[in-house]
Structure 1
Protein backbone atom coordinates (compact mmCIF):
# COMPACT_ATOMS: atom_id res chain seq x y z
CA UNK A 1 0.00 0.00 0.00
CA UNK A 2 1.30 3.46 -0.92
CA UNK A 3 1.03 5.56 2.23
CA UNK A 4 2.36 9.11 2.36
CA UNK A 5 5.01 9.97 4.92
CA UNK A 6 4.10 12.16 7.88
CA UNK A 7 4.37 15.89 7.09
CA UNK A 8 3.24 19.28 8.31
CA UNK A 9 0.63 20.95 6.10
CA UNK A 10 0.46 24.68 5.44
CA UNK A 11 -2.18 26.55 3.42
CA UNK A 12 -1.06 30.19 3.12
CA UNK A 13 -3.74 32.77 2.43
CA UNK A 14 -1.56 35.20 0.47
CA UNK A 15 1.39 35.10 -1.90
CA UNK A 16 3.52 36.91 0.68
CA UNK A 17 2.66 34.32 3.33
CA UNK A 18 3.59 31.54 0.88
CA UNK A 19 6.97 33.17 0.26
CA UNK A 20 7.57 33.51 4.01
CA UNK A 21 6.89 29.79 4.45
CA UNK A 22 9.08 28.81 1.51
CA UNK A 23 11.93 30.88 2.94
CA UNK A 24 11.59 29.70 6.54
CA UNK A 25 11.11 26.00 5.75
CA UNK A 26 13.69 25.83 2.97
CA UNK A 27 14.43 22.44 1.45
CA UNK A 28 12.38 20.67 4.14
CA UNK A 29 9.21 21.65 2.28
CA UNK A 30 7.65 21.05 -1.12
CA UNK A 31 5.17 23.41 -2.79
CA UNK A 32 1.86 21.88 -3.89
CA UNK A 33 -0.21 23.45 -6.66
CA UNK A 34 -2.13 20.71 -8.45
CA UNK A 35 -0.26 17.80 -6.91
CA UNK A 36 -0.57 15.49 -9.92
CA UNK A 37 3.20 14.90 -9.95
CA UNK A 38 4.11 15.66 -6.34
CA UNK A 39 1.67 13.25 -4.69
CA UNK A 40 2.71 10.39 -6.99
CA UNK A 41 6.37 10.97 -6.12
CA UNK A 42 5.48 10.95 -2.44
CA UNK A 43 3.45 7.75 -2.77
CA UNK A 44 6.33 6.06 -4.54
CA UNK A 45 8.72 7.21 -1.78
CA UNK A 46 10.83 9.15 -4.27
CA UNK A 47 10.66 12.14 -1.92
CA UNK A 48 9.67 12.50 1.72
CA UNK A 49 9.14 16.19 2.50
CA UNK A 50 8.74 17.24 6.10
CA UNK A 51 6.22 19.92 5.09
CA UNK A 52 3.79 20.71 2.27
CA UNK A 53 2.96 24.31 1.33
CA UNK A 54 -0.36 24.30 -0.53
CA UNK A 55 -0.63 27.31 -2.85
CA UNK A 56 -3.47 25.91 -4.96
CA UNK A 57 -6.07 28.37 -3.65
CA UNK A 58 -4.04 31.55 -3.99
CA UNK A 59 -6.01 33.81 -6.34
CA UNK A 60 -2.90 35.99 -6.78
CA UNK A 61 -1.26 33.13 -8.66
CA UNK A 62 -4.21 32.30 -10.91
CA UNK A 63 -5.73 33.68 -14.07
CA UNK A 64 -5.12 34.55 -17.71
CA UNK A 65 -4.77 38.14 -18.91
CA UNK A 66 -4.46 38.88 -22.63
CA UNK A 67 -4.00 42.46 -23.82
CA UNK A 68 -3.99 43.56 -27.43
CA UNK A 69 -0.44 44.33 -28.49
CA UNK A 70 0.93 43.43 -25.06
CA UNK A 71 0.94 39.64 -25.08
CA UNK A 72 -0.38 37.58 -22.20
CA UNK A 73 0.27 36.76 -18.55
CA UNK A 74 -0.68 33.43 -17.01
CA UNK A 75 -0.64 32.81 -13.26
CA UNK A 76 1.47 29.84 -12.21
CA UNK A 77 -1.50 28.14 -10.48
CA UNK A 78 -3.73 28.39 -13.54
CA UNK A 79 -4.88 24.89 -14.39
CA UNK A 80 -4.00 23.14 -17.61
CA UNK A 81 -7.71 22.79 -18.34
CA UNK A 82 -8.24 26.56 -18.05
CA UNK A 83 -5.44 27.08 -20.56
CA UNK A 84 -6.81 24.38 -22.87
CA UNK A 85 -10.22 26.07 -23.10
CA UNK A 86 -9.13 29.72 -23.05
CA UNK A 87 -10.50 31.40 -26.19
CA UNK A 88 -8.23 34.40 -25.62
CA UNK A 89 -5.10 32.22 -25.58
CA UNK A 90 -6.31 30.10 -28.49
CA UNK A 91 -6.66 33.21 -30.67
CA UNK A 92 -2.96 34.08 -30.34
CA UNK A 93 -1.21 31.09 -28.79
CA UNK A 94 -2.90 28.07 -30.32
CA UNK A 95 0.22 25.92 -29.98
CA UNK A 96 0.04 26.30 -26.19
CA UNK A 97 -3.67 25.56 -25.88
CA UNK A 98 -3.28 22.52 -28.13
CA UNK A 99 -0.33 21.25 -26.08
CA UNK A 100 -2.32 21.77 -22.88
CA UNK A 101 -5.19 19.71 -24.28
CA UNK A 102 -2.85 16.79 -24.93
CA UNK A 103 -1.54 16.61 -21.36
CA UNK A 104 -2.76 13.57 -19.44
CA UNK A 105 -6.47 12.92 -18.94
CA UNK A 106 -9.37 15.29 -18.30
CA UNK A 107 -9.12 14.51 -14.60
CA UNK A 108 -5.44 15.42 -14.57
CA UNK A 109 -5.90 18.63 -16.57
CA UNK A 110 -8.50 20.07 -14.18
CA UNK A 111 -6.01 19.68 -11.31
CA UNK A 112 -2.57 20.10 -12.86
CA UNK A 113 -1.18 23.63 -13.18
CA UNK A 114 1.08 25.19 -15.77
CA UNK A 115 3.50 26.15 -13.01
CA UNK A 116 3.65 22.61 -11.70
CA UNK A 117 4.14 21.17 -15.17
CA UNK A 118 7.19 23.38 -15.70
CA UNK A 119 8.60 23.12 -12.15
CA UNK A 120 8.47 19.32 -12.37
CA UNK A 121 10.73 19.78 -15.38
CA UNK A 122 10.14 16.44 -17.04
CA UNK A 123 11.97 16.19 -20.40
CA UNK A 124 8.69 14.98 -21.93
CA UNK A 125 6.46 17.74 -20.49
CA UNK A 126 4.03 19.23 -22.99
CA UNK A 127 3.86 22.92 -22.08
CA UNK A 128 7.57 23.91 -21.86
CA UNK A 129 8.18 23.10 -25.54
CA UNK A 130 5.38 25.31 -26.82
CA UNK A 131 6.10 28.03 -24.25
CA UNK A 132 9.73 28.16 -25.35
CA UNK A 133 8.82 28.36 -29.04
CA UNK A 134 6.45 31.23 -28.24
CA UNK A 135 9.22 33.14 -26.43
CA UNK A 136 7.70 32.83 -22.95
CA UNK A 137 9.48 33.78 -19.77
CA UNK A 138 8.81 32.93 -16.12
CA UNK A 139 8.63 35.27 -13.15
CA UNK A 140 10.17 33.91 -9.94
CA UNK A 141 9.21 35.67 -6.74
CA UNK A 142 10.60 35.83 -3.20
CA UNK A 143 10.47 38.19 -0.24
CA UNK A 144 13.47 39.96 -1.77
CA UNK A 145 11.70 40.67 -5.05
CA UNK A 146 11.13 39.15 -8.47
CA UNK A 147 13.30 38.05 -11.37
CA UNK A 148 12.44 37.01 -14.91
CA UNK A 149 13.97 34.19 -16.96
CA UNK A 150 13.28 32.68 -20.39
CA UNK A 151 11.53 29.35 -19.90
CA UNK A 152 14.47 27.48 -21.47
CA UNK A 153 16.81 28.97 -18.85
CA UNK A 154 14.42 28.05 -16.05
CA UNK A 155 14.39 24.32 -16.84
CA UNK A 156 17.90 22.99 -16.19
CA UNK A 157 17.39 19.24 -16.65
CA UNK A 158 15.30 16.25 -15.61
CA UNK A 159 13.42 17.46 -12.50
CA UNK A 160 15.84 20.35 -12.12
CA UNK A 161 15.00 24.04 -12.40
CA UNK A 162 16.39 27.45 -11.53
CA UNK A 163 14.25 28.07 -8.43
CA UNK A 164 16.41 29.16 -5.51
CA UNK A 165 15.58 28.63 -1.85
CA UNK A 166 12.84 31.06 -0.87
CA UNK A 167 11.45 31.43 -4.40
CA UNK A 168 8.20 30.32 -6.00
CA UNK A 169 7.11 30.48 -9.62
CA UNK A 170 4.64 33.36 -9.85
CA UNK A 171 3.58 33.71 -13.49
CA UNK A 172 4.38 33.26 -17.17
CA UNK A 173 4.77 36.12 -19.64
CA UNK A 174 4.13 35.56 -23.33
CA UNK A 175 5.10 38.26 -25.84
CA UNK A 176 2.68 39.45 -28.49
CA UNK A 177 3.05 37.25 -31.59
CA UNK A 178 4.82 38.98 -34.46
CA UNK A 179 2.93 39.89 -37.60
CA UNK A 180 2.98 37.21 -40.30
CA UNK A 181 3.90 34.51 -37.80
CA UNK A 182 2.52 31.14 -36.76
CA UNK A 183 3.42 28.52 -34.16
CA UNK A 184 2.60 24.83 -34.39
CA UNK A 185 2.96 22.01 -31.84
CA UNK A 186 3.04 18.27 -32.45
CA UNK A 187 3.93 15.07 -30.66
CA UNK A 188 4.12 11.34 -31.15
CA UNK A 189 3.40 8.63 -28.61
CA UNK A 190 3.11 4.89 -28.95
CA UNK A 191 -0.64 4.52 -28.54
CA UNK A 192 -3.85 6.52 -28.68
CA UNK A 193 -4.26 6.88 -24.94
CA UNK A 194 -3.06 8.88 -21.96
CA UNK A 195 0.71 8.62 -22.10
CA UNK A 196 4.03 10.38 -21.86
CA UNK A 197 5.25 11.68 -25.22
CA UNK A 198 8.01 9.82 -27.01
CA UNK A 199 8.85 13.13 -28.71
CA UNK A 200 7.18 16.54 -28.84
CA UNK A 201 8.08 19.66 -30.79
CA UNK A 202 7.00 23.23 -31.41
CA UNK A 203 7.92 25.49 -34.33
CA UNK A 204 7.40 29.26 -34.37
CA UNK A 205 7.99 30.84 -37.78
CA UNK A 206 7.96 34.51 -38.83
CA UNK A 207 7.83 35.79 -42.42
CA UNK A 208 9.05 39.03 -43.95
CA UNK A 209 6.54 41.53 -45.33
CA UNK A 210 6.55 39.75 -48.69
CA UNK A 211 4.75 36.85 -47.01
CA UNK A 212 7.18 34.23 -48.34
CA UNK A 213 10.72 34.91 -47.12
CA UNK A 214 11.48 33.50 -43.68
CA UNK A 215 12.49 36.22 -41.24
CA UNK A 216 12.99 34.03 -38.17
CA UNK A 217 12.20 30.56 -36.88
CA UNK A 218 12.45 28.79 -33.54
CA UNK A 219 12.23 25.00 -33.37
CA UNK A 220 12.11 23.42 -29.91
CA UNK A 221 12.28 19.68 -29.21
CA UNK A 222 11.04 17.83 -26.13
CA UNK A 223 11.81 14.34 -24.82
CA UNK A 224 15.09 14.15 -26.76
CA UNK A 225 17.27 15.91 -24.18
CA UNK A 226 17.19 16.52 -20.40
CA UNK A 227 15.71 19.97 -21.10
CA UNK A 228 13.87 21.60 -24.02
CA UNK A 229 16.32 21.55 -26.92
CA UNK A 230 16.35 24.61 -29.18
CA UNK A 231 17.59 23.95 -32.69
CA UNK A 232 20.51 26.11 -33.78
CA UNK A 233 20.72 24.69 -37.29
CA UNK A 234 17.11 25.35 -38.31
CA UNK A 235 17.37 29.18 -38.24
CA UNK A 236 20.70 28.97 -40.06
CA UNK A 237 19.06 26.92 -42.81
CA UNK A 238 15.84 28.89 -43.19
CA UNK A 239 16.38 32.58 -42.39
CA UNK A 240 16.30 34.75 -45.48
CA UNK A 241 14.97 31.98 -47.72
CA UNK A 242 11.64 30.81 -49.12
CA UNK A 243 10.58 27.34 -48.06
CA UNK A 244 11.08 24.57 -50.61
CA UNK A 245 10.72 20.80 -50.46
CA UNK A 246 14.52 20.52 -50.46
CA UNK A 247 14.78 22.86 -47.47
CA UNK A 248 12.11 20.90 -45.62
CA UNK A 249 14.17 17.72 -46.01
CA UNK A 250 17.30 19.54 -44.81
CA UNK A 251 15.46 20.81 -41.72
CA UNK A 252 14.43 17.27 -40.83
CA UNK A 253 18.00 16.03 -41.15
CA UNK A 254 19.38 18.95 -39.15
CA UNK A 255 16.93 18.42 -36.28
CA UNK A 256 17.73 14.70 -36.20
CA UNK A 257 21.44 15.47 -35.93
CA UNK A 258 20.86 17.87 -33.06
CA UNK A 259 18.55 15.59 -31.04
CA UNK A 260 20.12 13.71 -28.15
CA UNK A 261 17.52 11.07 -27.28
CA UNK A 262 17.88 8.04 -25.02
CA UNK A 263 16.28 4.63 -25.24
CA UNK A 264 13.70 3.84 -22.55
CA UNK A 265 10.42 1.96 -22.10
CA UNK A 266 8.57 4.41 -24.37
CA UNK A 267 10.87 4.40 -27.40
CA UNK A 268 14.38 3.70 -28.62
CA UNK A 269 16.82 6.48 -29.39
CA UNK A 270 16.73 5.50 -33.06
CA UNK A 271 12.95 5.72 -33.21
CA UNK A 272 12.98 9.11 -31.51
CA UNK A 273 15.46 10.45 -34.08
CA UNK A 274 13.20 9.29 -36.90
CA UNK A 275 10.23 10.97 -35.20
CA UNK A 276 12.18 14.21 -34.78
CA UNK A 277 12.80 14.35 -38.52
CA UNK A 278 9.15 13.65 -39.34
CA UNK A 279 7.84 16.25 -36.88
CA UNK A 280 10.33 18.90 -38.01
CA UNK A 281 9.35 18.47 -41.66
CA UNK A 282 5.63 18.56 -40.91
CA UNK A 283 5.57 21.40 -38.40
CA UNK A 284 7.87 23.71 -40.36
CA UNK A 285 5.67 23.28 -43.41
CA UNK A 286 2.46 23.79 -41.39
CA UNK A 287 3.83 26.90 -39.64
CA UNK A 288 5.04 28.35 -42.93
CA UNK A 289 1.69 27.92 -44.62
CA UNK A 290 -0.17 29.33 -41.60
CA UNK A 291 2.17 32.35 -41.40
CA UNK A 292 1.47 33.11 -45.07
CA UNK A 293 -2.21 33.41 -44.15
CA UNK A 294 -1.65 35.42 -40.97
Structure 2
Protein backbone atom coordinates (compact mmCIF):
# COMPACT_ATOMS: atom_id res chain seq x y z
CA UNK A 1 0.00 0.00 0.00
CA UNK A 2 1.10 3.57 -0.71
CA UNK A 3 0.97 4.96 2.80
CA UNK A 4 2.62 8.30 3.57
CA UNK A 5 5.29 8.50 6.24
CA UNK A 6 4.55 10.32 9.47
CA UNK A 7 5.24 14.05 9.29
CA UNK A 8 4.40 17.35 10.95
CA UNK A 9 1.99 19.56 9.02
CA UNK A 10 2.23 23.35 9.00
CA UNK A 11 -0.19 25.72 7.26
CA UNK A 12 1.09 29.30 7.50
CA UNK A 13 -1.36 32.11 6.82
CA UNK A 14 1.13 34.65 5.46
CA UNK A 15 4.22 34.68 3.28
CA UNK A 16 6.36 35.86 6.21
CA UNK A 17 5.14 32.96 8.37
CA UNK A 18 6.01 30.56 5.57
CA UNK A 19 9.50 32.00 5.23
CA UNK A 20 10.06 31.67 8.99
CA UNK A 21 9.10 28.01 8.82
CA UNK A 22 11.24 27.36 5.75
CA UNK A 23 14.25 28.90 7.47
CA UNK A 24 13.73 27.13 10.80
CA UNK A 25 12.88 23.68 9.47
CA UNK A 26 15.45 23.62 6.66
CA UNK A 27 15.99 20.28 4.93
CA UNK A 28 13.53 18.53 7.23
CA UNK A 29 10.58 20.12 5.42
CA UNK A 30 9.09 20.11 1.94
CA UNK A 31 6.86 22.82 0.46
CA UNK A 32 3.33 21.83 -0.55
CA UNK A 33 1.53 24.05 -3.06
CA UNK A 34 -0.72 21.88 -5.23
CA UNK A 35 0.84 18.57 -4.26
CA UNK A 36 0.39 16.86 -7.62
CA UNK A 37 4.09 15.93 -7.74
CA UNK A 38 5.02 15.98 -4.05
CA UNK A 39 2.33 13.58 -2.82
CA UNK A 40 3.14 11.06 -5.53
CA UNK A 41 6.83 11.15 -4.58
CA UNK A 42 5.90 10.61 -0.94
CA UNK A 43 3.56 7.72 -1.76
CA UNK A 44 6.27 6.05 -3.81
CA UNK A 45 8.76 6.52 -0.93
CA UNK A 46 11.06 8.63 -3.08
CA UNK A 47 11.16 11.18 -0.26
CA UNK A 48 10.22 11.04 3.43
CA UNK A 49 10.04 14.61 4.75
CA UNK A 50 9.72 15.14 8.49
CA UNK A 51 7.52 18.18 7.92
CA UNK A 52 5.22 19.64 5.26
CA UNK A 53 4.71 23.40 4.87
CA UNK A 54 1.44 24.02 3.02
CA UNK A 55 1.59 27.41 1.24
CA UNK A 56 -1.24 26.75 -1.21
CA UNK A 57 -3.78 29.08 0.41
CA UNK A 58 -1.56 32.10 1.10
CA UNK A 59 -3.20 35.02 -0.71
CA UNK A 60 0.15 36.81 -1.20
CA UNK A 61 1.33 33.87 -3.29
CA UNK A 62 -1.74 33.52 -5.56
CA UNK A 63 -3.07 35.47 -8.49
CA UNK A 64 -2.17 37.28 -11.71
CA UNK A 65 -1.38 40.96 -12.19
CA UNK A 66 -1.52 41.89 -15.86
CA UNK A 67 -1.29 45.57 -16.78
CA UNK A 68 -1.27 47.05 -20.27
CA UNK A 69 2.27 48.01 -21.22
CA UNK A 70 3.75 46.58 -18.03
CA UNK A 71 3.96 42.84 -18.64
CA UNK A 72 2.58 40.50 -16.00
CA UNK A 73 3.29 38.99 -12.62
CA UNK A 74 2.10 35.48 -11.84
CA UNK A 75 2.30 34.39 -8.20
CA UNK A 76 3.83 30.98 -7.63
CA UNK A 77 0.74 29.31 -6.11
CA UNK A 78 -1.52 30.29 -9.00
CA UNK A 79 -3.07 27.12 -10.37
CA UNK A 80 -2.44 25.90 -13.89
CA UNK A 81 -6.20 25.90 -14.53
CA UNK A 82 -6.41 29.59 -13.51
CA UNK A 83 -3.60 30.42 -15.95
CA UNK A 84 -5.22 28.36 -18.71
CA UNK A 85 -8.51 30.25 -18.34
CA UNK A 86 -7.04 33.77 -17.96
CA UNK A 87 -8.26 35.98 -20.82
CA UNK A 88 -5.67 38.64 -19.88
CA UNK A 89 -2.79 36.19 -20.21
CA UNK A 90 -4.26 34.67 -23.37
CA UNK A 91 -4.25 38.09 -25.03
CA UNK A 92 -0.58 38.77 -24.29
CA UNK A 93 0.93 35.32 -23.82
CA UNK A 94 -1.10 32.71 -25.75
CA UNK A 95 1.86 30.32 -25.79
CA UNK A 96 1.76 30.13 -21.99
CA UNK A 97 -1.99 29.64 -21.66
CA UNK A 98 -1.91 26.96 -24.37
CA UNK A 99 0.97 25.19 -22.62
CA UNK A 100 -1.02 25.28 -19.38
CA UNK A 101 -3.96 23.62 -21.14
CA UNK A 102 -1.69 20.73 -22.15
CA UNK A 103 -0.62 19.86 -18.60
CA UNK A 104 -2.15 16.66 -17.27
CA UNK A 105 -5.90 16.34 -16.82
CA UNK A 106 -8.50 18.87 -15.72
CA UNK A 107 -8.31 17.43 -12.20
CA UNK A 108 -4.52 17.90 -12.15
CA UNK A 109 -4.65 21.45 -13.55
CA UNK A 110 -7.12 22.51 -10.85
CA UNK A 111 -4.58 21.51 -8.17
CA UNK A 112 -1.17 21.97 -9.79
CA UNK A 113 0.58 25.35 -9.54
CA UNK A 114 2.90 27.18 -11.88
CA UNK A 115 5.50 27.46 -9.13
CA UNK A 116 5.39 23.75 -8.47
CA UNK A 117 5.78 23.01 -12.18
CA UNK A 118 9.10 24.87 -12.18
CA UNK A 119 10.30 23.80 -8.72
CA UNK A 120 9.77 20.12 -9.56
CA UNK A 121 12.10 20.89 -12.46
CA UNK A 122 11.12 18.01 -14.70
CA UNK A 123 12.82 18.21 -18.12
CA UNK A 124 9.39 17.54 -19.68
CA UNK A 125 7.50 20.23 -17.73
CA UNK A 126 5.09 22.22 -19.89
CA UNK A 127 5.29 25.79 -18.56
CA UNK A 128 9.05 26.46 -18.18
CA UNK A 129 9.60 26.25 -21.95
CA UNK A 130 7.21 29.07 -22.94
CA UNK A 131 8.17 31.06 -19.85
CA UNK A 132 11.78 30.95 -20.99
CA UNK A 133 10.90 31.88 -24.58
CA UNK A 134 8.91 34.84 -23.24
CA UNK A 135 11.87 36.07 -21.17
CA UNK A 136 10.33 35.35 -17.78
CA UNK A 137 12.22 35.76 -14.53
CA UNK A 138 11.55 34.01 -11.24
CA UNK A 139 11.51 35.87 -7.94
CA UNK A 140 12.97 33.89 -5.06
CA UNK A 141 12.10 35.09 -1.56
CA UNK A 142 13.66 34.63 1.87
CA UNK A 143 13.62 36.53 5.16
CA UNK A 144 16.65 38.42 3.86
CA UNK A 145 14.78 39.69 0.78
CA UNK A 146 14.18 38.79 -2.87
CA UNK A 147 16.41 37.87 -5.78
CA UNK A 148 15.61 37.42 -9.47
CA UNK A 149 17.02 35.26 -12.23
CA UNK A 150 15.89 33.94 -15.63
CA UNK A 151 13.87 30.76 -15.40
CA UNK A 152 16.42 28.85 -17.49
CA UNK A 153 18.97 29.80 -14.82
CA UNK A 154 16.65 28.70 -12.02
CA UNK A 155 16.17 25.14 -13.30
CA UNK A 156 19.40 23.14 -13.09
CA UNK A 157 18.17 19.67 -14.03
CA UNK A 158 15.71 16.94 -13.10
CA UNK A 159 14.37 17.89 -9.62
CA UNK A 160 17.25 20.33 -9.21
CA UNK A 161 16.92 24.10 -9.04
CA UNK A 162 18.52 27.22 -7.60
CA UNK A 163 16.51 27.35 -4.35
CA UNK A 164 18.78 27.68 -1.34
CA UNK A 165 17.95 26.89 2.31
CA UNK A 166 15.36 29.33 3.63
CA UNK A 167 14.03 30.30 0.18
CA UNK A 168 10.80 29.80 -1.74
CA UNK A 169 9.84 30.69 -5.29
CA UNK A 170 7.28 33.48 -4.86
CA UNK A 171 6.38 34.73 -8.36
CA UNK A 172 7.18 34.98 -12.06
CA UNK A 173 7.74 38.27 -13.90
CA UNK A 174 6.95 38.38 -17.62
CA UNK A 175 8.06 41.35 -19.72
CA UNK A 176 5.59 43.14 -21.96
CA UNK A 177 5.61 41.56 -25.44
CA UNK A 178 7.56 43.77 -27.83
CA UNK A 179 6.06 45.25 -30.98
CA UNK A 180 5.81 42.95 -34.02
CA UNK A 181 6.40 39.78 -32.03
CA UNK A 182 4.67 36.47 -31.39
CA UNK A 183 5.37 33.33 -29.37
CA UNK A 184 4.01 29.87 -30.07
CA UNK A 185 4.18 26.57 -28.14
CA UNK A 186 3.89 22.97 -29.29
CA UNK A 187 4.23 19.53 -27.75
CA UNK A 188 4.13 15.94 -28.96
CA UNK A 189 3.39 12.71 -27.10
CA UNK A 190 2.92 9.17 -28.28
CA UNK A 191 -0.86 9.23 -27.93
CA UNK A 192 -3.69 11.73 -27.73
CA UNK A 193 -4.28 11.32 -24.01
CA UNK A 194 -3.03 12.55 -20.66
CA UNK A 195 0.70 11.88 -20.56
CA UNK A 196 4.07 13.50 -20.07
CA UNK A 197 5.43 15.20 -23.20
CA UNK A 198 7.89 13.30 -25.36
CA UNK A 199 9.12 16.73 -26.49
CA UNK A 200 7.91 20.31 -26.28
CA UNK A 201 9.07 23.66 -27.64
CA UNK A 202 8.35 27.38 -27.62
CA UNK A 203 9.47 29.90 -30.23
CA UNK A 204 9.36 33.68 -29.81
CA UNK A 205 10.03 35.84 -32.88
CA UNK A 206 10.35 39.63 -33.13
CA UNK A 207 10.30 41.31 -36.54
CA UNK A 208 11.74 44.62 -37.74
CA UNK A 209 9.48 47.50 -38.78
CA UNK A 210 9.08 45.98 -42.24
CA UNK A 211 7.28 43.03 -40.60
CA UNK A 212 9.35 40.65 -42.67
CA UNK A 213 12.94 40.73 -41.40
CA UNK A 214 13.59 38.77 -38.22
CA UNK A 215 15.09 40.98 -35.53
CA UNK A 216 15.27 38.48 -32.66
CA UNK A 217 14.30 34.87 -32.13
CA UNK A 218 14.38 32.62 -29.07
CA UNK A 219 13.74 28.91 -29.48
CA UNK A 220 13.51 26.80 -26.32
CA UNK A 221 13.29 22.99 -26.28
CA UNK A 222 11.87 20.78 -23.54
CA UNK A 223 12.38 17.08 -22.78
CA UNK A 224 15.53 16.88 -24.90
CA UNK A 225 18.01 17.92 -22.19
CA UNK A 226 18.16 18.02 -18.39
CA UNK A 227 16.61 21.52 -18.38
CA UNK A 228 14.93 23.88 -20.87
CA UNK A 229 17.42 24.13 -23.72
CA UNK A 230 17.77 27.54 -25.35
CA UNK A 231 19.04 27.25 -28.91
CA UNK A 232 22.23 29.15 -29.68
CA UNK A 233 22.29 28.23 -33.37
CA UNK A 234 18.79 29.27 -34.45
CA UNK A 235 19.31 33.02 -33.81
CA UNK A 236 22.50 32.97 -35.89
CA UNK A 237 20.52 31.42 -38.76
CA UNK A 238 17.46 33.68 -38.63
CA UNK A 239 18.37 37.07 -37.20
CA UNK A 240 18.54 39.69 -39.93
CA UNK A 241 16.89 37.42 -42.49
CA UNK A 242 13.45 37.01 -44.05
CA UNK A 243 12.05 33.54 -43.49
CA UNK A 244 12.05 31.14 -46.44
CA UNK A 245 11.90 27.39 -46.93
CA UNK A 246 15.69 27.01 -46.93
CA UNK A 247 16.00 28.76 -43.58
CA UNK A 248 13.16 26.71 -42.13
CA UNK A 249 15.02 23.54 -43.08
CA UNK A 250 18.22 24.84 -41.50
CA UNK A 251 16.34 25.70 -38.29
CA UNK A 252 15.10 22.12 -38.00
CA UNK A 253 18.60 20.76 -38.54
CA UNK A 254 20.07 23.18 -36.00
CA UNK A 255 17.56 22.24 -33.32
CA UNK A 256 18.23 18.56 -33.92
CA UNK A 257 21.98 19.08 -33.62
CA UNK A 258 21.62 20.85 -30.27
CA UNK A 259 19.13 18.46 -28.68
CA UNK A 260 20.53 15.89 -26.25
CA UNK A 261 17.59 13.52 -25.71
CA UNK A 262 17.57 10.18 -23.90
CA UNK A 263 15.56 7.04 -24.51
CA UNK A 264 12.94 6.17 -21.91
CA UNK A 265 9.46 4.64 -21.64
CA UNK A 266 7.88 7.62 -23.44
CA UNK A 267 10.13 7.79 -26.51
CA UNK A 268 13.49 6.85 -27.93
CA UNK A 269 16.26 9.38 -28.37
CA UNK A 270 16.00 8.91 -32.14
CA UNK A 271 12.26 9.66 -32.13
CA UNK A 272 12.76 12.76 -30.01
CA UNK A 273 15.46 14.00 -32.37
CA UNK A 274 13.20 13.58 -35.38
CA UNK A 275 10.27 15.26 -33.66
CA UNK A 276 12.27 18.23 -32.40
CA UNK A 277 13.20 19.07 -35.98
CA UNK A 278 9.57 18.90 -37.08
CA UNK A 279 8.43 21.06 -34.15
CA UNK A 280 11.11 23.64 -34.86
CA UNK A 281 10.09 23.94 -38.51
CA UNK A 282 6.39 24.22 -37.66
CA UNK A 283 6.66 26.64 -34.74
CA UNK A 284 9.11 28.97 -36.46
CA UNK A 285 6.70 29.31 -39.36
CA UNK A 286 3.70 29.78 -37.05
CA UNK A 287 5.48 32.38 -34.88
CA UNK A 288 6.75 34.25 -37.94
CA UNK A 289 3.30 34.49 -39.52
CA UNK A 290 1.72 35.51 -36.22
CA UNK A 291 4.36 38.24 -35.75
CA UNK A 292 3.63 39.58 -39.22
CA UNK A 293 -0.01 39.94 -38.23
CA UNK A 294 0.66 41.39 -34.78
- The TM-score normalised by the length of structure 2 is 1.00
Aligned-partner SS, 2:12: coil
Deviation per CA, 1:100-132, whole angstroms, max 9, x where unpaired? Answer: 000000000000000000000000000000000
Shift of 1:70: 0.6
2:144 paired with 1:144: yes
The match for 2:242 is 242
Q: Show the 5 A alignment for 1:188-203.
A: 188-203=188-203
Q: Show the 5 A alignment for 1:103-182.
A: 103-182=103-182
The match for 1:17 is 17
Mapped to 2, the partners of 1:218 and 1:116 lie a distance apart of: 24
In structure 1, stretches of 5+ residues that fail to align are none
Mapped to 1, the partners of 2:13 and 2:70 lie a distance apart of: 30
Q: Show the 5 A alignment for 1:1-294.
A: 1-294=1-294
Mapped to 2, the partners of 1:13 and 1:71 lie a distance apart of: 28
Mapped to 1, the partners of 2:286 and 2:170 lie a distance apart of: 33
Structure 1 moving runs of 4+ over 3 Å:
none
Instruction: Give the CA RMSD over aligned residues.
Output: 0.3
Deviation per CA, 1:188-241, whole angstroms, max 9, x where unpaired? Answer: 000010000000000000000000000000000000000000000000000000
Aligned-partner SS, 2:263: coil
- The TM-score normalised by the length of structure 1 is 1.00
Aligned-partner SS, 1:126: coil
In structure 2, stretches of 5+ residues that fail to align are none
Mapped to 2, the partners of 1:28 and 1:209 lie a distance apart of: 55
